[in-house]
A = this chain, B = another copy of it.
Amino acid sequence: MNQFPSAAETDPVKMGWMVGSPPPPDKLISFQDGGVYQFPKTRWSFCNFRRMGPTTAVSRGLGQASPLLRTELAELDNVEFTPMGATQTITWGQAYDANYTDGVVVLHRGKIVYERYSGVMKPEGQHIAMSVTKSFFGLIGQMLVAEGALDESALVTHYVPELQNSAFADATIRQVLDMRTGLKYSENYADPQAEIWMHARAGGVLPRPPQYAGPQTFYEFLQTVQKEGQHGGNFAYKTVNTDVIGWVIRRVTGLSIGEVVSQRIWSKLGMEQDAYFTVDSAGNEFAGGGLSAGLRDMARFGEMLRNDGTWSGQQIIPPAVINDIRFNGDASAFPVQNFPTLGGWAYRNMWWVSNNAHGAYSARGIHGQAIYIDPKAEMVIARFGSHPVAANTHFDPTSLPAYHAVAQFLLKHR
Identify the A interface with B (CB < 8 A).
18, 21-23, 28-32, 48, 50-57, 59, 61-62, 64-65, 123-125, 217, 219, 247, 250-251, 256, 272-274, 276, 279, 281-284
Contacts and interface: CB of A to CB of B under 8 A. Distances in A.
B29 A283 contact: yes
Contact of A21 (B48, B55, B250, B272): B250
Nearest to A250: B21
Contact of A62 (B32, B61, B124): B124
Contact of A217 (B22, B57, B217): B22
A57 B120 CA distance: 14
B284 A22 contact: yes
Contacts of A250: 21
B56 A53 contact: no
B50 A54 contact: yes
A157 B167 CA distance: 61
B57 A55 contact: no
**Which residue of A21, A64, A274 has the most chain B CB atoms within 10 A of its CB atom?**
A21
Nearest to A282: B22
B125 A59 contact: yes
A50 B56 contact: yes
Contacts of A247: 21
A212 to B, nearest CB: 12
A284 B282 CA distance: 25
Contacts of A276: 50
Contacts of A256: 18
A29 B279 CA distance: 13
Contact of A50 (B50, B61, B284): B50
Contacts of A56: 48, 50-51
Contacts of A219: 21-22
A52 B204 CA distance: 12
Contacts of A65: 62, 64
A31 B59 contact: no
B50 A55 contact: yes
**Which residue of A32, A55, A125, A272 has the most chain B CB atoms within 10 A of its CB atom?**
A55
A174 to B, nearest CB: 21
Nearest to A267: B124
A51 B283 contact: yes
Contacts of A28: 282-283
A52 B281 CA distance: 8
